[in-house]
Amino acid sequence: MLFGNENHKEILISAINSLLNFQGNDQVQEIEILQQQIPSFKSKAKQSIVDVRCRTEKGEELIVEMQREKEENFLRRTQYYMARVIGSKLESGETYSQLPKVYLLALSKQNLFDGYLNDIFYEKTVVPMIQELKAEFPSNLMTWKFYEIKRFDKELKAGQIKRVDGKLPLKEQWLDFFNKCGTASAIPEDTDKVIQDAYKKMHLANWNADALIEYDLMIQSEIEDKIKREKDKKESELKGEKEGELKGEIKGEISKIKDFLNFGLSKEIIVPRLKFLTHEKVREKLESTLTYIQDHRNDSDDEICEKLGLVGDLKDSF
């Protein structure tokens, strides 16, 4: 809700720059919110939905996945996301030299990396490595950044994270926000403005049970309105297509009448060969219609059709 919203881009940009340690010229200045669905390079591939997916002005793609409960295959899923995003770029026609960097930012309430002795690192950066050289793979395009909120909270409570002028560093303020935003009853004063704005946008300072229900109803109403708008648009497009087809049929019949008249055929011979202009809705003005066509044989079929208003008369009948 907060980070996938076009109106909250400045908050998302701050979080990305802080959590991915982008500094100087590497900082993201502008961002494009993409569909949450991870693109597939197979037509029948399983759909994957992430919390936020976006692209920077440099063309780099960012995936943000927030894990609330520990899932057995979460780490495998993050690798799958990365493979699908990069694979889809090649499928879309980009060459290897054009492939952008892809970052996957994962925030987890639970610890993801268990079994390591003396692990106090709540921030973990994962890139493909050459084991023997202990060096990053050349021309690497893939970076996974994991934050373990539980491990962060433990270090914070133990006083292991240094404050500056009474405030945590901005990156740690963001981690504290993700840890507390679901339960906070007030906006912390010892935070930067962007963090306070994030709390305000979430309305957490004033939400109670009734407000949450009201908010859920509002979101549901917005979803229903969007579905209705899309349905109305499709119906309008379909209606336009049908009217276009009907107009084509009527113009064809007008052209046929012109040919018959040019051959000197009588109306008694012409009428039985008509379908649309003899329909019950316009039958009563058939005589005047034929007379008009006879007198305006040099006009285009489209002009005659528009002048007689035949599409409007028949659009609900076919």
- Is pLDDT of 8 > 60? yes
Sheet of 52-56: strand order equals 31-33, 52-56, 61-67, 102-108, 142-148, 123-126
The residues spanned by each domain of the chain are 6-207, 225-314
Q: Strands 129-130 and 123-126, how do they pair?
A: unpaired
What does the alpha-carbon distance between residue 38 and residue 87 come to, in Å, rounded to a whole number?
Answer: 11
Of residues 5 and 172, which shows the higher confidence score?
Answer: 172
pLDDT (mean) for 32-44: 64
User: How much of the chain, in percent, has pLDDT values that exceed 70?
Assistant: 84
Contact of 190 with 167, CB cutoff 8 Å: yes
pLDDT digits (tens, 9 = 90+) for 90-148: 767 778 888 888 899 999 988 999 888 889 999 999 999 999 999 999 999 999 999 99
> What does pTM read for this prediction?
0.60
Question: Are the C-beta atoms of residues 109 and 149 closer than 8 Å to each other?
Answer: yes
d(CA 226, CA 125) in angstroms, rounded, equals 39
The Cα 156–Cα 165 span in angstroms is 16
Of 144, 139, 114, nearest to 127 by C-alpha is 144
Tell me the pLDDT of the chain averaged across its residues. Answer: 82
